[in-house]
Amino acid sequence: MLIYLKHIILFLILAAGLHIFSASASDKKRDLHISYPGIRFNAERDFAYSPLMYSGVQGSFAISYSVIKSNTSDLVFLNYTSGNNTNKFGSIMQVVTAGIQTYKFYHRMQETGNGFCLGWSNNNEFNTREVEDVRNFNNRNEYFTSFGPAIRYRYPFIVLNRQVHFQTLAHLQLLGFKLQSSYVTSLPPGFQESNTKGFRKFLNSIELFYPGSGLNVGIQPTLMYELKSGNGLSISYRYDYLNIKGPHNVEKSRGTWSVGIITAL
């Protein structure tokens, strides 16, 4: 029964993810937003290895692509972060995070999309970490894909005859799937079984992501300054909190600063 439920919800999540970012012929404005190496302030704890918090500053890179249409806006956001965390005794943990997040906002009544808009977000994130000096079952990992409400606030204003946009995105992930290292080994549970193959291993490994088994919430205020050419500059801060319950709980609290260039396409 559970396996069928997993199939159905997996299909719904994928369909929703595709729907969230679906371009159409009525596109009005397309932007490519490249965030140059930013810095991420990261604090996390993986109870599979230690009750201690590991924290540090990592390098971060992000690209986003947005399409504003007559009554909807789409945004896809790719990010990659890598670097070291340490605990209070100086032990080192290497962490890598990669993610793709999509947003879709509805602004039927106001073509510009300014003010508050409601919408949806689909977040896909993969995290891996290695603790120095641990020789077995290193590379603890988790992956989740989830879906939940999002809100955007856009406020345009003029400074020194230039258009400036203040924008804040916020999301709360409610329903999806997660895949994480097993109770002891690095591999998810289904991948330890030799009598199952391919997609079945994946299905046997995934678990539902729902309030109580996982929480991901984030906010990203951005200030965008428009240049004469129609391109722009931006400064952004993205904070997000992740808590995944499983064989061993994992929690992360992260804030990323970045500056970027916005290219009108």
Which residues are near other proteins by CB under 8 A?
41-45, 49-53, 55, 87-89, 91, 131, 133-137, 155, 157-161, 164, 166, 168, 182-185, 189, 192-195, 219, 221, 223, 237, 239, 241, 247, 251, 253-255, 257
Considering only CA atoms, which of 170, 111, 128, 121 is closest in space to residue 146?
Answer: 121
Contact call for residues 55 and 86 (beta carbons, < 8 A): yes
162 forms beta bridges with 159
Q: Which residues, in sequence order, are CB contacts of 186 under 8 Å at separation 6+?
A: 137, 138, 139, 140, 141
- Closer CB to other proteins, 4 or 183, in the complex: 183
Instruction: State the nearest-atom distance from the C-beta of 52 to other proteins, in Å.
Output: 5
- Closer CB to other proteins, 76 or 190, in the complex: 190
CA distances from 34 to 56, 102, 264 (A): 24, 16, 11
- Closer CB to other proteins, 5 or 184, in the complex: 184
- Closer CB to other proteins, 90 or 108, in the complex: 90
- Count CB neighbours of 16 within 10 A: 17
- Closer CB to other proteins, 44 or 74, in the complex: 44
Instruction: State the nearest-atom distance from the C-beta of 13 to other proteins, in Å.
Output: 26
H helices of the chain, where? 2-20, 198-205
- Closer CB to other proteins, 47 or 61, in the complex: 47
* Residue 177: HSE in the Cβ half-sphere, 13 Å Cα cutoff: 20
Instruction: State the nearest-atom distance from the C-beta of 6 to other proteins, in Å.
Output: 19
Instruction: State the nearest-atom distance from the C-beta of 194 to other proteins, in Å.
Output: 5
Show the tokens assigned to 230.
């129609």
39, amino acid identity? I
Contact call for residues 183 and 205 (beta carbons, < 8 A): no
Instruction: State the nearest-atom distance from the C-beta of 170 to other proteins, in Å.
Output: 11
Rounded Cα distance, 24 and 69, in Å? 8
- Count CB neighbours of 162 within 10 A: 12
- Closer CB to other proteins, 104 or 254, in the complex: 254
Rounded Cα distance, 29 and 68, in Å? 5
Rounded Cα distance, 252 and 64, in Å? 23
Instruction: State the nearest-atom distance from the C-beta of 75 to other proteins, in Å.
Output: 19
Instruction: State the nearest-atom distance from the C-beta of 50 to other proteins, in Å.
Output: 4
